[in-house]
Amino acid sequence: MNKSILKPVIAGVLIGFGLFFIPFFILRVVLFLLIAGLVFRLFAGRRRHFGGPFAERRLAFTDHIRHMSDEEYVQFKQRAAQGCGGYRKQEFNSQQNTQS
């Protein structure tokens, strides 16, 4: 009889202990996430804005694209589809072919 009442008592104490401390744990996790998000926004959020040292270059590049003719824009898109350095590699290979 001693063992039959001991298990429910221990289970009840553990469940009560868990229900009592879960709100404090959840509150700590939520506060940590809020503070971490605030710090992230303070430091990383500035990079998302259009300002910065290269803002004028970006605007000039945008104007350059806007004033392209249709043929130039098609060539630009083809070069961009090749990825970084694809145009330079193609240009270098064509220069080597013409020299040979």
Question: Does one domain contain both 12 and 31?
Answer: yes
pLDDT for residue 79 is more than 90: no
Q: Which residue has the higher pLDDT, 81 or 13?
A: 13
Judge if pTM exceeds 0.95.
no
What pLDDT is stored for residue 78 in this prediction? 87
Domain of residue 14: give its range: 2-46
Task: Yes or no: say if 78 and 70 are a contact pair by the CB < 8 Å rule.
Answer: no
Categorize the per-residue pLDDT at 98 as very low, low, confident or very high, splitting at 50, 70 and 90.
low
Asked if 37 and 64 sit in the same domain, the reply is no
Do 95 and 58 lie in one domain? The reply is yes
The total of structural domains in the chain comes to: 2
pLDDT in tens, 23-73: 888 889 999 999 998 888 888 765 555 566 667 777 788 888 888 899 989
Is the domain of 87 the same as that of 60? yes
38 and 58 both lie in a single domain:
no
The first and second tokens of residue 76, run together, are 């630009």
CA 98 to chain centre: 44
Q: Please name the residues in contact with 79: beta carbons below 8 A apart, sequence gap of 6 or more.
A: 86, 87
